[in-house]
Amino acid sequence: MNDFTRLLTAQVAADARTLPARALARLSAANPASRAGTISELRAVAARRVPRVVFDYVDGGAGDEITLRRNQTALRDIELRPRVLVDVSKVVTATTALSEPIALPLIAAPMGLAGLLNPAGEVAIARAMSEARSISILSVMASCPVEEVAAAAPGPLWFQMYLWRDRGLVRDMLARVRAAGVNVLVVTVDVPCAGNRDRDRKNGFTVPPRITARALADGIVHPRWSYDFVRNPRISWGNLPGDSAASAASLSTRTNQQFDPAATWPDLTWFRENWPGRLVIKGVLDPADARRAVELGAEAVVVSNHGGRQLDGARATISALPAVSEAVGDAAEVYLDGGIRRGADIAKAVALGARACLAGRALAYGLGAAGQPGVSRAVEILGSELRTVLALTGCPQVSDLSPAWVRQP
Ligand SMILES: Cc1cc2nc3c(=O)[nH]c(=O)nc-3n(C[C@H](O)[C@H](O)[C@H](O)COP(=O)(O)O)c2cc1C
């Protein structure tokens, strides 16, 4: 237990005089996400339930958050072109991703430090996805170690790595991932250095959290989160060696220490040669980059701008998707992430060439709102919206969507 946890424990114990622990436990166990009908409502619950510094870490983007917003507005601006008098009594959302059958084209995006939202962290996400019969991608920067997540959820688990400077560390990590039974490696290539996360800078966000008067005050006004947190703190990275987070530092400092700004295409070849399983490259927007990744052995690419958390001003992923999809053709699968908040967003992405979408924040809001049931609720919302959209569009089979079903502005 570190100083931060000790202080919070003491404070929660002091609060227990006015708010008995049993009541806190009851509050903690209740599922405040069950009444949320949209992802935006889940976001509002999460905003109330977790401290501001944690919410901003998840919700925020880089710089002026132009790209963060653009991902969503570009999706909304696409028109659907419905056909009528089609038999939609049976709607089918099932598809496959790298031969893995999934119940709907929605995969959990890798997210570092999900355990800050709820101590169940990535275990909760993987279990919820497994129950929904889909895939979860575990980040190397996750709060929960790969062995724990793989053991906790029976469903398919993919693992996401970064291009670190220390190849020995990467090699050890890949061996652990393989031993945990993971067959698909996702290499994220859009982080040569940390993006400028202004909210994190202003909030003084560090890993592990630094004890400040503000952090304590934040903990006190979010007693349910603090109660969960004190019982099972997940304040650092579960996959990295213990000394990687020995002292508090900002996320950008950590990123810039570990990530290799000199990494180029031959480094991707290194991954191909050192990873016997399937390989996915995440973080491309340019068709030529996508083609090159496939030529070097990637079996899928993720059109992504890291949810607007890296290069502010980058184009919206949905705008980049058609050209990438055309460039890659049948040589690899294409996925999209960034701004998925509605079932209609998934339908539009699939129509424009994505085999499936990755969702980051939509699931994170669910996790922050109510742990695993909250993640399940997020998936349920997106799935049910998608089914309604398919029926109303007159395209009951998700895999039948094509560019003919949409009109881009
Ligand atoms: C809190 C948070 C942490 C993230 N951590 C990672 C990570 O460790 N590795 C990675 O490849 N992407 C990471 N991402 C980006 C997501 O994988 C994904 O690209 C992005 O969230 C998609 O946008 P959306 O949140 O609008 O769905 C993170 C995103 C969030 C919100």
Answer whether 339's CB lies under 8 Å from 361's CB: no
Ligand 1 atom 19: residue of nearest CA: 306
Task: Check if the beta carbon of residue 43 is closer than 8 Å to that of residue 59.
Answer: yes
Q: If one looks up domain 29-196+250-407 in CATH, what number appears? A: 3.20.20.70
| pLDDT at 394 (0 to 100) | 98
Measured from the Cβ of residue 240, the count of other Cβ atoms closer than 10 Å reads 18
Q: How far is the CA of 184 from the centre of ligand 1 (A)?
A: 18
Contact, 290 vs 327, CB < 8 A?
A: yes
305 alpha carbon to ligand 1 midpoint, in Å?
A: 9
Assess whether the C-beta atom of 197 lies below 6 angstroms from ligand 1. Answer: no
- Measured from the CB, is residue 109 less than 6 Å from ligand 1? yes
Q: Which of 397, 267, 308 is nearest to 73 (CA)?
A: 308
The pLDDT score that the predictor gives to residue 26 is 55
Å from CA of 88 to ligand 1 middle: 34
Q: CA nearest 46: which of 35, 34, 33?
A: 33
Residue 359 CB less than 6 A away from ligand 1: yes
Query: Which residues face 281 on adjacent strands?
Result: 187, 301
C-beta 308 within 6 A of ligand 1: no
**Atom of ligand 1 at shortest range from CA of 190:** 11
The answer to whether the Cα torsion of 133, 137, 143, 144 is positive or negative is: positive
Q: In this structure, what token pair is assigned to residue 330?
A: 């049948």
Q: Are 114 and 121 in contact (CB under 8 A)?
A: yes
From residue 227, alpha-carbon distances to 32, 123, 217 in Å are 16, 19, 14
Give dist(CA 318, CA 308) in Å, integer. 13
Contact 398, 95 (CB under 8 A): yes
The whole-angstrom separation of Cα 285 and Cα 304 is 6
Pocket lining: 185 vs ligand 1, CB cutoff 6 Å: no
Neighbours of 390 (CB within 10 A): 25
The enclosing H or E element of 95 equals strand 95-97
Residue 360 beta carbon below 6 angstroms from any ligand 1 atom? yes
Measured distance CA(16)–CA(89) in Å, rounded = 54
Using CA atoms, how far residue 320 sits from 145, 175, 339, in Å, is 33, 34, 13
- Peptide linkage before 145 cis (omega within 30 of 0): no
Q: Measured from the CA of 137, which atom of ligand 1 is nearest?
A: 17
| Cα 143 from Cα 133, distance rounded (Å) | 23
Minimum CA distance residue for ligand 1 atom 28: 111
Contact 141 CB / ligand 1 (< 6 Å): yes
Domain ranges within the chain, ordered by starting residue:
29-196+250-407
Closest C-alpha to 24, from 211, 226, 167 = 226
Spacing, Cα 14 to ligand 1 middle (Å) = 36
Cα-trace Rg, the chain: 21
Contact criterion met (CB below 8 Å) for 98 and 278: yes
CB of 219 closer than 6 A to ligand 1? no
Cα–Cα distance between 135 and 310 in angstroms, integer? 24
Pocket flag, ligand 1, residue 258 (CB < 6 Å) = no
Both tokens assigned to 68: 């963060």
* DSSP secondary structure string for all residues of 321-381: HHHHHHHHTTSSEEEEES---SHHHHHHHHHTT-SEEEESHHHHHHHHHHHHHHHHHHHHH
Give the span between the Cα atoms of 400 and 87, in whole angstroms.
Answer: 14
pTM (global) more than 0.85 = yes
CA of 396 to the centre of ligand 1 (A): 30
Helix or strand holding residue 273 (H, E): helix 265-274
| Residues annotated as part of the active site | 306
Q: Judge whether 82 and 396 are in contact, CB under 8 Å.
A: no
CB of 338 shorter than 6 A to ligand 1: yes
Cβ within 8 Å of residue 330, ≥6 positions away: none
Cα separation of 105 and 335, whole Å?
Answer: 9
Q: Under DSSP, is residue 333 helix (H, G, I), strand (E, B) or coil? A: strand
Residue of 71, 75, 111, 234 best suited for mutating to test ligand 1, as the one with most atoms within 8 Å of CB: 111
Rounded-to-integer distance, Cα 1 and Cα 385, Å: 43
pLDDT tens-place values along the chain, 409 residues long: 455 445 444 554 444 444 455 555 555 556 778 889 999 999 999 999 999 999 999 999 999 999 999 999 999 999 999 999 999 999 999 999 999 999 999 999 999 999 999 999 999 999 999 999 999 999 999 999 999 999 999 999 999 999 998 889 899 999 999 999 999 999 999 999 989 999 999 998 887 777 677 777 887 888 888 887 777 777 778 888 765 555 667 777 777 788 889 999 999 999 999 999 999 999 999 999 999 999 999 999 999 999 999 999 999 999 999 999 999 999 999 999 999 999 999 999 999 999 999 999 999 999 999 999 999 999 999 999 999 999 999 999 999 999 999 999 8
For 203-252, what is each residue's pLDDT tens digit?
Answer: 988 877 776 777 778 878 888 888 877 777 777 788 887 655 556 677 77
Contact 220, 213 (CB under 8 A): no
Q: What is the pLDDT of residue 240?
A: 80
Please give the number of the atom of ligand 1 that sits closest to the Cα of 306.
Answer: 19
Question: Ligand 1 centroid vs 15 CA: distance in angstroms?
Answer: 35
Residue 247: the pLDDT is 63
Nearest residue (CA) to ligand 1, atom 2 = 111
Q: Which residues touch 26 (CB under 8 Å, ≥6 apart)? A: none
Ligand 1, atom 30, residue with closest C-alpha: 111
223-231 and 3-15 helices, crossing angle to 10°: 130
